[in-house]
Amino acid sequence: MSPILEIRDLSVAYRTPDGDVRAVEQVNLTLNAGEVVGLCGESGSGKSTLAYGATRLLRPPAVVTGGSVLYGGRRITQGGDPADLLAMDQRELRAMRWREVAIVFQSAMNALNPVLRIQDQLLDAVQAHLKLSRHDAREKVASLLDLVGIPRTRLRSYPHELSGGMRQRVMIAMALAADPEVVIMDEPTTALDVVVQRDILSQVVELKETLGFAIMFITHDLSLLLELADRIAVMYAGRLMETGSSRDIMRDAAHPYTMGLLNSFPALHGPRRTLAGIPGSPPDLRNPKPGCPFVPRCPHARPACAEVDMSLAPVSGSAGAGVPGVVSHLTACPFVTPQMSQEGQASQEGVLS
């Protein structure tokens, strides 16, 4: 499986008069064709910045300060080498947007133009990239709505006339308008209630199976990813803490932060426990201290943490990295094993109950 999107050593910073805010720091992430990769982290962890920075949609004062974003879709590379999004000029980027990489934004109400009808907004997306006759374009737009289960009568509606769930479906339909290879979903269901959420997500999975695109799913809700994603990457303070298959993360979480996240939501079955959560708050990204940013909130913190270089290494006891066909389970914390993580968490709970 060759990767369709490969983010290498990406760093993004915001230039402010008070100094640079390093929102993303040397992140490596790979997305294979047809795969669902979940990107998980709390607000301010840099997950959205990562996605928008990789697609170069961030506004000034954001700057990409290093790395490369290699896109391997066949339409662009035509069998040759992957193209670096960071090296493209405006024209090439514009051709690539939506056709190769599409985005489903977080708040559909804000992401839809309030004064345009749904039909016109979808037509925009279609006609910017596909050379279709007017009639064909309209037919395509109508079929997009069919795809997400919205009645065609809604074509002439304005965004404010639709319900939240419908708007989000429209956003998804719009993302699929040009048959992309990669769809980035930025917290698409956060603002919706769980029933609608379930509906939409199962529809997304169905569409993925049918149309064959890869998904980068960004959310703060790890429980969602455990079900939905093939692989999960956990971010904190602009850095990756842990990556692995969803099974690995669920069963053998190696990083204390991941463990903290896992224990922040209750299980439906089993005895009632006090939720542990993670005390404290994310660090100031303007003056990052050396070493691991999670130190102030980590139950396993020790003096050596200040010298960790934050590169990802295979989790001890997992199948070795680089073995073909095996998804590697990597962690940034060299001191903690999955077992220690689980014990530490249990003792935390003990303290709180």
Partner 1 sequence: MASSVVASTANIWRNLPVKAKVGVFLFGFFVLAAIIGPMVEPYDPGFQNTAANALSAHPSAQHLFGTTQLGQDVLSQVLTGIRLTLELALLVGVIVTVISVLVGVTAAFLGGIWDDVLSLLTNVFLVIPALPVLIVLLGYLPQQGQTPTILVLSLLGWPWGARVIRVQTLTIRNRDFIAASRESGEKTWRIIIFDIIPNEISLIAASFVNTVLYAIGASVALAFIGLTDVNSWSLGTVLYWVQQDDAVQSNAWWWFVPPGLAVALMGVSLVLLNSGIDEIGNPRLRASRASAKVAGHRIWPTDPTPVYAQLAAERSRLGSFLHSFSRSSLYDETPAGSELR
Partner 2 sequence: MSFILRRLAFYLVAAWVAITANFFIPRAVPGNPIAIILSKYPNLTPQAYQALSQMIGGSLEKGSLWSQYVHYLDDVVHFNFGTDLANFPTPVSTLLDQALPWTLVLVGTATVIAFAIGTTLGILAGWRAGGGLDRSLPFLMFFQAVPYFFLALLLVDFFAVQHHWLPPGGGYNGEITQPGWTWSFISNAIEYSTLPALTIVISSIAGWMLQMRNVMITTIGEDYVVAAQAKGLSKARIIYTYAARNALLPQLQGFGLALGFAVSGALIMEIVFGYPGIGLLLLNSVTDKDFPMMQAILLVIVFAVLIANLVVDLIVAFVDPRARAREAV
Q: How far is the CB of 6 from partner 2 (least distance, A)?
A: 20
Q: Count Cβ atoms below 10 Å from residue 251 Cβ, excluding itself.
A: 11
Phi, psi dihedrals of residue 5, rounded to the nearest 5°: -140, 125
Q: How far is the CB of 102 from partner 2 (least distance, A)?
A: 8
Residue 160 binding target from partner 2, partner 1, none, CB below 5 to 8 Å by type = partner 2
Q: Which region holds residue 282: left if phi is over 0, alpha if psi is between -120 and 50, else beta?
A: beta
Q: How far is the CB of 308 from partner 1 (least distance, A)?
A: 17
Scanning 27-35, 71-79, 122-130, 258-266 for contacts with partner 2 by CB under 8 A, the matching segment is 122-130
Scanning 55-63, 68-76, 242-250, 332-340 for contacts with partner 2 by CB under 8 A, the matching segment is 55-63
Residue 23 CA to chain centroid, in angstroms?
15
Q: Applying CB under 8 A, does 174 fall inside the site for partner 2?
A: yes
Of 50 and 249, CB closest to partner 1: 50
Q: Which region holds residue 317: left if phi is over 0, alpha if psi is between -120 and 50, else beta?
A: left
Helix, strand or coil, per DSSP, at residue 211: helix
Scanning 29-37, 50-58, 101-109, 314-322 for contacts with partner 1 by CB under 8 A, the matching segment is 50-58
Q: Applying CB under 8 A, does 21 fall inside the site for partner 2?
A: no
Q: Tokens standing for 262?
A: 């896992």
Of 190 and 342, CB closest to partner 2: 190
Among 2, 43, 59, 114, binds partner 1 (CB under 8 A): 59
Among 63, 88, 95, 196, binds partner 2 (CB under 8 A): 95
Q: Applying CB under 8 A, does 57 fall inside the site for partner 2?
A: yes
Contacts (Cβ under 8 Å, ≥6 apart) of 108 = 159, 164, 167, 168, 170, 171
Q: Applying CB under 8 A, does 85 fall inside the site for partner 2?
A: no
Q: Applying CB under 8 A, does 196 fall inside the site for partner 2?
A: no
Q: How far is the CB of 106 from partner 2 (least distance, A)?
A: 8
Q: How far is the CB of 200 from partner 1 (least distance, A)?
A: 29
Residue 297 binding target from partner 1, partner 2, none, CB below 5 to 8 Å by type = none
Q: Applying CB under 8 A, does 335 fall inside the site for partner 2?
A: no
- Is residue 261 within 8 A of residue 41, CB to CB? The reply is no
Of 59 and 134, CB closest to partner 1: 59
Length of the chain: 353
Contacts (Cβ under 8 Å, ≥6 apart) of 345 = 259, 260, 263, 276, 299
Q: Applying CB under 8 A, does 179 fall inside the site for partner 2?
A: no
Q: Applying CB under 8 A, does 293 fall inside the site for partner 1?
A: no
For Cα atoms 190, 14, 238, give the angle at the middle one, nearest 5 degrees: 55
User: Whose CA is closest to 246, among 50, 35, 48, 104?
Assistant: 35
Kindly write down the DSSP assignment for every residue of 105-129, as one continuous string. Answer: -S-HHHHS-TTS-HHHHHHHHHHHH
Scanning 18-26, 36-44, 232-240, 301-309 for contacts with partner 1 by CB under 8 A, the matching segment is 18-26
Q: In this structure, which amino acid lies at residue 42?
A: E
# of chain residues touching partner 1 (CB under 8 A): 30
For Cα atoms 89, 94, 98, give the angle at the middle one, nearest 5 degrees: 140
- Is residue 258 within 8 A of residue 338, CB to CB? The reply is no
Can you give the binding site for partner 2, defined by CB under 8 A? 55, 57, 59, 93-99, 102-103, 105, 107, 110-116, 124-125, 128-129, 158, 160, 174
